[in-house]
Amino acid sequence: MIEITSLDKAEKFVRERVKGFDSGHDWWHIMRVRRLARYINETEFSEDPYLVDTAALFHDFADSKFSGGNQEETIELVRQFLKENGMDNFINGVSNTMKYISFSSRGKTGGMRDNLLLVVQDADRLDAIGAIGIARAFNYGGYRNNIIYSPVVDENKNSTINHFYEKLLLLSSMMNTETGKRLAFERHQFLELFLKQFHNEWNSDTFNLF
């Protein structure tokens, strides 16, 4: 079992790192993912809770949207950190999670059926849907200066509303675990309700403005 001080150090390391990330990928995102991952692990598996905590802490550390640099180099930095802080036995699990968690590497697991990856990936996906997922999407869209929506098909391609159709609405059917599926259900329904209301308001002929 790892010492609490190692986990404290990992928290500080990650907290410092995510300072420049947008609010949807900030420390509180990490904490929400950590809490969800802990819960999913407790109900589905019984991986070492410290391992789950550590993987959740580092899951976005090498996110290409923010690191800009080489993912392999960033993962190596984390491997070194874990080694120097007595968490050698977490190195494989944490680096595998960092490498394969993202939506863009969907379906890839590094050839492993890795409970840890399944748990942290579900937790991360849950935080991208529901009310929090909606808030994160619009925050990220604003951060990138993307438009909210356009009724002109070509203009709409980079809108945040389009992101719902390209990604967010797919997530509930991509959950790995039964607990993930259960938790995703209500959040997915909320996305649909939000989109329905959004389009109703947009298309309302009450004001006939355009």
Handedness of CA 4, 52, 113, 103 (dihedral sign): negative
Check binding of 124 to Ni ion (CB under 5 A).
yes
Check binding of 60 to Ni ion (CB under 5 A).
yes
Contact region with ligand ADP (CB under 6 A), list: 69-77, 100-108, 112-120, 180-188: 100-108
Residue 114, helix vs strand vs coil: coil
Please, how many CA atoms are within 13 Å of residue 6, restricted to the half-sphere of its CB?
17
Element at 49 (helix H, strand E)? helix 49-58
Contact region with Ni ion (CB under 5 A), list: 59-67, 80-88, 110-118, 196-204: 59-67
Among 79, 136, 187, 188, contact with ligand ADP (rule: CB under 6 A): 136
Q: Give, as ranges, the residues between 43 and 82 that touch ligand ADP (CB under 6 A).
A: 63
E-strand spans in 59-198? none
Q: How far apart are CA 175 and CA 126, in angstroms?
A: 9
Per partner kind, with CB cut-offs from 5 to 8 A, the member of ligand ADP, Ni ion, none near residue 104 is ligand ADP
Element at 95 (helix H, strand E)? helix 91-100
Give the shortest CB-124-to-ligand ADP separation in angstroms: 6
Give the shortest CB-155-to-ligand ADP separation in angstroms: 14
Check binding of 140 to ligand ADP (CB under 6 A).
yes
Q: How far apart are CA 23 and CA 105, in angstroms?
A: 23
Nearer to Ni ion by Cβ, of 79 and 125: the residue is: 125
Contact present, 52 and 38 (Cβ < 8 Å): yes
- Structure tokens belonging to residue 7: 């986990």
Contact present, 40 and 115 (Cβ < 8 Å): no
Among 128, 161, 175, 184, contact with ligand ADP (rule: CB under 6 A): 128
Give the shortest CB-53-to-Ni ion separation in angstroms: 15
- x/- mask, ligand ADP, residues 143-172, rule CB under 6 A, reads ---x-------------x--x----x----
Give the shortest CB-173-to-ligand ADP separation in angstroms: 15
Contact present, 177 and 119 (Cβ < 8 Å): yes
* CA separation, residue 48 to residues 11, 89, 121 (Å): 17, 11, 16
Nearer to Ni ion by Cβ, of 47 and 124: the residue is: 124
The residues of the shown chain that bind ligand ADP, judged by CB under 6 A, are 24, 63, 102-104, 124, 128, 133, 136-137, 140-141, 146, 160, 163, 168
